Structure 1
C-alpha cells in the first residue's frame, strides 16, 4: 500500500453511454491515495467489421500511472490488430478459439510494445497495471483478466460468473513464480508485489531463457467465454480491487438489484457504490464500470419514491445531529450515528450509499461556521 492523503479526494469522474443494445456507466475516484493510477475504456462499437461488438475494461495501475493509461488507449488496438481479428467476417460465425488467441496475443503484444517505451526500458518508470476487460459480441461474452481487478456477470439477480483474482498464493501462480526463481513472501511476489499477473512491471520479467508467460509476473490473461442469454443476462460489473477489497461479488449483486430500481442513471449508481466502499474502509483508488443489458433492473416509481423519502429522512437526522453537537463530528461518527437508528428500519447499505450527500452536508455546515473541527 502506498502513501495516503490526510483526507480523501472524493471528486469523481463520470461517463455514461449506450450502443448495441447496451447501457453503461462509469465512476472513478482517487480516494485516499496520493495519485490516481486507475484507467478505463468503454467502446460500444468497435471499428471496421466489428461494429456490433463492444469492449469495456478497467486498469488498476501501481507504482505510477503510465502503464494503466497506455493500456486504456492501446489494449483494444493491439487486440483488433492481431491476425485472428483481421480474419473476422461479420457474415460468418467467428471461431471462438481464434478470438481467444487474438485476445491473448493482443495482451502479449501490448506488454512487449510498452517495454520499448523509453521511460520503461530505462527503468526510470517502474509502473505496472492489472487489466480486466469484456468483449461483447452478438452471441458471446469474452472475459479476459490479468491481475486482481474483477469482472462479474449477473443473471436473473444472481452472480453467474466472476473472474478469478491472480494472487501469488494461488497454487498455479506460486508454482510459476518459484520456477522463475522467485518466492512468495507475506502473500507477495518476492515480498513486494501483491498481484501475480500484470502488464508492465518489467523488473519482474527478467528471467533469462523463459518466455513472457513464464516470468515472475505474467502478462497473459485468463480468458472465459460464455454464450449470451438475451433473457437472463442483466449486468456486467468491472472494477478494481479498491471495490472488491470491501465488497463481495454477491453483496454488490444484491446492492445493484436495489439501486438500479431507484435510478436509470448508471453513473449515479456507480457513484453510490464508490461512496459506500470509501466509508466501508477502502483506501485505494476506485473505478467501476457497469454494463447493463436489456433485462437489467430499471427505475420504478415505487422504488424512486421510497428512496427519496429515505434520503430526506437520513439527511434530516444528520442535520438534527449537527444542531445538537458541540463540535463538528467526523464522517465516521456521523455514519455510525445514522446506522444506529432502527425506526423506520433502513436498508443496511443505504446510509453508506448516501454518504456523498452526507459529506456535502457536513462541509456546508462547516463552511457556515456553525462548528469548528476537522471532518
Structure 2
C-alpha cells in the first residue's frame, strides 16, 4: 500500500512537444510517496513506413516498485508495433522485434491496418511484454514483486484507440464536455470479481486477496501463477481493454491521461473543466500540467501523480478576458492575505491553514477556477504568506501544514 514521507517531494519532471497536428505537455511529481513509481511514454510519429502520422502516449502507475513501469515505458510500444507490416498481427518475433527488423525492410507499400487489426495488435503487445518480463530473473524469483497499470492512447489520422489496463484513466474532451472515459479495473467490478474467484482468489476490502487494489496490471507475477489458467484468466490479468473512436477534428479538444493519484481527488468533469480554464489562461502545456499536479496535491492526493495532456487542433485558446479575470483573482487573494497578516489576533499571526480556512468562507471572492477551487490558488496564497509572515520558518517549507484543500 506504500509508505509516506514527512513532507511531499514537489519537484516535477516535465516534457512538451508538438507534431502531427498535436501538442502535448506532461508533468509528474513524487508527492508524499517514498518512491517515484510512475513512468510515461510520449511519441509523435511512430517508427516505420506509413506510421509517421501516428502518435502514442501512455502513463504507467507502478506499485511495489518501479521496475515494471519503467520497462513498459521504454518497450511496450515496440511490442505493440513490432513493425508496420505486423501491427496488430501479434507478430512472430516476440520480444526480439526491436532488434530483428528484417520483416520491415521490404520497400513494398503496406496498406493501413484495419481498426480490428490495430486493436488485436495492442492486446497482443500487452500479453507479449508481460510474458517477456516474466523471464526477468528478479521478477521470476520474487526478488522484485512490482507491477504497473497502463493507460494510453494510440492516435491514427482518423481514429483514437484508448487503451486501459488497471485504474489509471484516459478522458476525451469534445464539444466542451467529457465525451469518453476509460473504465477502471477494480476487483469489486462484477466481471473482474468473477475472474478472480474462478482463479481461486477472493475480493476482500475491495482488493485481490485483500492485498492488491487493481484487478488488471502488467507484472504482479505473484498473482499470475494459477495452474491450468491462461494469462487472461489469472487473479490479475495483463489484458487491456481497447476502445476505438473516430476522430472529429472540428469537435475534439484534448485528451488527458493520468494515474489514480490525480483521479483520487478530481472527477473526470472537474479535471477537464479545470484544464479547459487553464488553457484559456496559458498555452504553456507544461505549466497547465504542473497546475494540475499541484492542485491535486493541495486537494489531498497522497500518491505519485502523473498527467499527460494532448491538445488537438480545436483545443481551447488563450482568452484575454480569462487572463484578465485570473489576474484579478490573484490580486484579490494577495490583498486578502496581506490584510489577514496585517492585524494579528490574540494568538498572534494566523498560520497558513487558518488563512486558507478564512479564504474558503470568503463570499466576496471572484470566481475560482472550475474543478480546482481554492486548492488551485494555494501557491499564490502561500507565496504572499511566506513573504509577509515574520514568524515563518527559515526554510519556508511549511512541512507541518496541512496540504488538503
Same fold by TM-score greater than 0.5: yes
* Alpha carbons 1:126, 1:201 under 8 Å: kept: yes
Aligned to 1:121: 140
Q: Spell out, residue by residue over 1:200-220, the C-alpha distance to the aligned partner (whole angstroms, 9 max, x if none).
A: 100000001111111000000
Does 1:356 find its partner at 2:379?
Answer: yes
Shift of residue 359, structure 1, vs aligned partner: 3.6
Aligned to 2:317: 298
SS of structure 1 residue aligned to 2:301: coil
Q: Spell out, residue by residue over 1:121-150, the C-alpha distance to the aligned partner (whole angstroms, 9 max, x if none).
A: 121111100000100000000011000000
Q: Spell out, residue by residue over 1:165-187, the C-alpha distance to the aligned partner (whole angstroms, 9 max, x if none).
A: 00001111000000111000011
Q: Equivalences for 1:1-375 in 2 at 5 Å?
A: 1-49=1-49, 50-81=51-82, 84-85=86-87, 92-325=111-344, 326-327=348-349, 329-330=351-352, 332-347=353-368, 349-363=372-386, 370-372=391-393, 374-375=400-401
SS of structure 2 residue aligned to 1:257: helix
Give the 3 Å change call, closer, same or farther, for CA 328–42 of structure 1 in structure 2.
farther
Give the 3 Å change call, closer, same or farther, for CA 78–336 of structure 1 in structure 2.
same
Q: 2: CA distance between counterparts of 1:358 and 1:302?
A: 22
Shift of residue 360, structure 1, vs aligned partner: 4.2
Q: 1: CA distance between counterparts of 2:132 and 2:342?
A: 59
CA root-mean-square deviation: 2.0
SS of structure 2 residue aligned to 1:134: strand
Give the 3 Å change call, closer, same or farther, for CA 10–322 of structure 1 in structure 2.
farther
Q: 2: CA distance between counterparts of 1:282 and 1:36?
A: 14
Q: Spell out, residue by residue over 1:70-113, the C-alpha distance to the aligned partner (whole angstroms, 9 max, x if none).
A: 11111111111166318899763421111111101111111111
Q: 2: CA distance between counterparts of 1:335 and 1:70?
A: 41
Q: 1: CA distance between counterparts of 2:320 and 2:20?
A: 27
SS of structure 2 residue aligned to 1:144: strand
* Alpha carbons 1:201, 1:217 under 8 Å: kept: yes
* Alpha carbons 1:328, 1:371 under 8 Å: kept: no
TM-score, reference length from structure 2 = 0.87
* Alpha carbons 2:262, 2:293 under 8 Å: kept: yes
Give the 3 Å change call, closer, same or farther, for CA 212–91 of structure 1 in structure 2.
closer
* Alpha carbons 1:205, 1:212 under 8 Å: kept: yes
* Alpha carbons 2:386, 2:392 under 8 Å: kept: no
Q: Spell out, residue by residue over 1:209-267, the C-alpha distance to the aligned partner (whole angstroms, 9 max, x if none).
A: 11111100000000000001011111100000011111110111222221110110111
TM-score, reference length from structure 1 = 0.94
Give the 3 Å change call, closer, same or farther, for CA 118–182 of structure 1 in structure 2.
same
Q: 1: CA distance between counterparts of 2:387 and 2:65?
A: 34
Max radius of gyration: which structure? 2
* Alpha carbons 1:327, 1:371 under 8 Å: kept: no
Aligned to 2:99: none
Q: 1: CA distance between counterparts of 2:325 and 2:387?
A: 26
Q: 1: CA distance between counterparts of 2:355 and 2:14?
A: 27
Aligned to 2:101: none
Shift of residue 9, structure 1, vs aligned partner: 1.3
Shift of residue 345, structure 1, vs aligned partner: 3.0
Q: 2: CA distance between counterparts of 1:363 and 1:351?
A: 17
Unaligned runs of 5+ in 1: none
